[in-house]
Structure 1
Amino acid sequence: MEARIAIAPFAEARTSHGRPGSADAELDRLRFGIEEAVSRGGGTNVPLADADGLVWLVPGEPGLLGATLDAHPRIGWVQFPWAGVERFASSGVFDRPVVFSCAKGSFAGQVAEHALMLTLACLRNLSRQARTPGWCPVDPRSLHGRRVTILGGGGIATELVRLLRPFECRIRVIRRHPEKAEGTGGTPKTPKPPETPETLPPSALPAVLPETDILVLALALTPETRHVVGAAELALLPPHAVVVNVARGAHIDTGALVEALGAGTISAAGLDVTDPEPLPDGHPLWADPRVLITSHCADSAEYVARMLCERVERNVGNLRAGRPLEGVIDPTAGY
């Protein structure tokens, strides 16, 4: 079938969002890359009025997307450039008879690398070492053989499991559908090597946390996963545990995290995301030498643009061939 694809923001939308003409060079480069990706996938770049597919590059604005789809009912597919689409899920825009796909899994490589970096940095006291203006002989801890629990079973978890294999960690993956784990194994019938993960449902989390040395959050943000790690969960972790978050800041109750660090309930935290984001000046997490915060920068702009264009190219080809699309959003789950 033919794939006629429009790309938002359109000229009038860009002006209304403070992006007149070609002032936003980065957005223009991304748009050009997507246009080329549509062509490579066998599709045609068309104006909105002629489109049956839409690549939505407008940050947020679920109301604008809903109005656009209502005004152009022939559009049957929308591609988002982000992995997280919680703002759109909560708006009700997914209730429309349209197939929505996002970038989930596309950026897993760099995000998993970042999670590994934060884990190693926390175990080796890198934040404290970097902040101390003098000799600071603090014993490091090794990642080898540690018990790692990953919340989330998507692309980041799968890639992180691969990166952890040389460390021979005991890995458990907590995911919504353990039976659908992709590359992360399942419930073992026979003993498995220590680097092979066991997949478990969310209900297993309280039982797993006391046996966790490193807890990594790499899951979608939904109403059910907001504050999935709060005071109760932090209290179940052993005092030497490290918490790493490369997903969304709201997965962790920030106040509970501050209290847990203050009480010595956990030993360290590596955060690429926070709640609120960014943290305000003077927030206690900024000054805590056991906390390493990066500025939601687990993946680079160049990498994101390249992976997005590859996803668009494949999905346009899939649309034309009648094959399943990559990264399809489950409207019920919200991701």
Structure 2
Amino acid sequence: MKIRQKDCVCEIPQHAAVLGDERASNAAPRVESGPIAVLPESHDDSTRGGSEVFRSAVSDAGGVITELNENTRGLIWLSYKKSAELGEVLASNPQLTWVQLPWAGVDAYADVLAASARPGLVFTSAKGSYAQPVAEHALGMTLALMRLFPRRARAQSWDAVPKGISLYRKNVTIIGAGGIARELIRLLQPFDVRITIVRRSAGQVPGAFSTVTTDRLKKVLPESDVVIIAAALTPDTTHLIGAQELALMKPSAVLVNIARGPLVDSAALVEALNQERILGAAMDVTEPEPLPDGHPLWSARNVLITPHMADTPDMTAPLLADRISTNVAAFLSGKPFVGVVDTEAGY
């Protein structure tokens, strides 16, 4: 949407960041500020529009952009595919004190974070920045599954069998307590659902009917009509939903994953779908990814697959630019960063 003011056309942001508990982090120590490099020169399609929008975000917040040299203290890294290259940059530039990563999830950088962690170096991510478009996608997938859209869309003859489930007043379990979960709580309000949040640490999430820790996941699955995965991928959460968890779900329940593919055991999911042990599954992320042609998940019963498109570059670029501006201002002023990465926890 655009609005005209005098002689200029100004963009009205489509989305805004939604933060979890990490409104701003005081855990990270104040770091030495200085010039900021924006790398790599050739980056991913995920940062469509070129690096200029992100360079402008640095400048608009008062940052000085420089080529990487001995005086550089900050680094804006725009690629999730080139994690090994980031590791090389960090190893050869011990003067860096702050690195901004482009994605909410940092599992692609796990090895780099482990190898590069040191006192005086802070990593920040885009956690919370993309919550609104991703939550919107999750809601759409949920409704599509419950109304059997995958089956209806593939039908080539009139199917008069009256099937479909309403979302109203159902039990919705959301695994994760970050920005996506918080935005889903807001989006689900008109449906009068009963929301249970499953999270790693204790603490009630506002708007949820109940909040439980991950060790109680199997306790809440049998009562869940909808299970939405919005958790970070770590060694502890790999295959968080496997054969045992799927067996606990209702035959009328649906599973939605908009987080990371390896959170779900794909083989177990295919079996559960084809044996009609759950009603359906919607995956924006898969294991493996990209999902190869001919993979059994493509032809599983009542499955909906989108190719990691819960958000698009047109949606994420302005949100990442805003996070960069916020953290550049924090970097220069010594105020708390937003989205500080816990290198030990992995998110």
TM-score by length of 2: 0.86
1:210-255 CA-partner distances (Å, limit 9, x unpaired): 1111000001100000000000000111111100000011000000
Does the CA-based 8 Å contact 1:131-1:289 persist in structure 2? no
- TM superposition shift of 1:88: 1.6
Deviations 1:65-96 (A, max 9, x none): 22212222221000011112113223423423
Deviation by residue 1:114-148 (Cα, 9 ceiling, x = unmatched): 00000000000011111001222332210000100
Alignment of 1:99-178 (within 5 A): 99-137=122-160, 138-178=162-202
Cα distance between partner residues in 2 of 1:64 and 1:197: 44
Give yes or no for contact 1:60–1:88 (8 Å, CA) kept in 2. no
Gapped regions of structure 1 (runs ≥ 5): 186-194
**Which whole-Å CA distance do the structure 2 matches of 1:296 and 1:124 have between them?**
22
- How is 1:194-209 mapped onto 2 (pairs within 5 angstroms)? 196-209=208-221
- Say if 2:311 is the partner of 1:329: no
Q: Which residue of 2 aligns with 1:188?
A: none
Alignment of 1:208-287 (within 5 A): 208-287=220-299
Greater RCO, CA 8 A, separation 6+: 2
Instruction: Determine which of 118, 130, 133 is the counterpart of 1:96.
Output: 118
Aligned partner of residue 174 in structure 1, secondary structure: strand
Counterpart residue type for residue 9 of structure 1: P
Per-residue CA deviation, residues 243-284 of structure 1 (Å, 9 max, x unaligned), is: 000001100000000111122211100111111112221222
Q: Which secondary structure does the structure 2 equivalent of 1:30 belong to? A: coil
Shift of 1:27: 5.5
Moved more, 41-50 or 243-252: 41-50
Partner residue in 1 for 2:40: 9
Q: Secondary structure at the match of 1:158?
A: helix
Asked if the contact 2:90/2:116 (under 8 Å) is kept, the reply is no
- Deviation at residue 289 of structure 1 after TM alignment: 4.3
**Distance in 2 between the 1:28 and 1:48 partners?**
22
For residue 251 of structure 2, give the secondary structure of its aligned residue in structure 1. coil
1:191 alignment counterpart: none
Greater helix share, 1 or 2? Answer: 1
Cα 1:107–1:238, aligned 2, differ >3 Å: closer, same or farther?
same
Structure 1 CA distance, aligned partners of 2:159 and 2:334?
60
Distance 1:262 1:249 in 2: 19
Partner of 1:190: none
* Distance apart, 1:63 and its partner CA: 3.1
Q: Residue 220 of structure 1: SS of its match in structure 2? A: coil
Deviation per residue, 1:135-173 (Å, 9 max, x gap): 223322100001000111100000011100110101001
Q: SS of the counterpart of 1:68?
A: helix
Shift of 1:322: 1.1
In 2, Cα distance between the equivalents of 1:250 and 1:25? 23
Letter aligned with residue 68 of structure 1:
V
Does structure 2 retain, via aligned residues, the 8 Å contact 1:30–1:305? no
Q: Mean Cα displacement is larger for which, 107-116 or 129-138?
A: 129-138
SS in 2 for 1:269: strand
Conserved in 2, the CA contact under 8 Å of 1:150 and 1:217?
yes
CA distance in 2, matches of 1:114, 1:93: 34
Partner of 2:50: helix, strand, or coil? Answer: helix
Q: Is the Cα contact below 8 Å between 1:227 and 1:250 reproduced in 2?
A: yes
Three-state SS of the structure 2 residue aligned to 1:114 is helix
User: Residues 94 and 100 of structure 1 are in contact (CA less than 8 Å); yes or no, is this contact kept in structure 2?
Assistant: no
Q: Does 1:75 align with 2:96?
A: yes
Q: Secondary structure at the match of 1:199?
A: strand
> How big is each residue's C-alpha offset from its partner over 1:172-221, in whole Å with a ceiling of 9 and x where there is no partner?
01011232x5xx33xxxxxxxxx633111001101101111100000110
- Give runs of ≥4 in structure 1 deviating > 6 Å: none
Q: CA deviation at 1:302?
A: 1.1
Shift, 1:29, TM fit: 3.0
Contact map agreement 1:107 1:307 (CA 8 A) in 2: yes
Distance 1:27 1:104, change over 3 A: closer
Question: Aligned AA for 1:147?
Answer: N
Distance, in Å, in 1 between the alignment partners of 2:293 and 2:148 is 23
User: Does the Cα contact within 8 Å between 2:63 and 2:328 map onto a contact in 1?
Assistant: yes
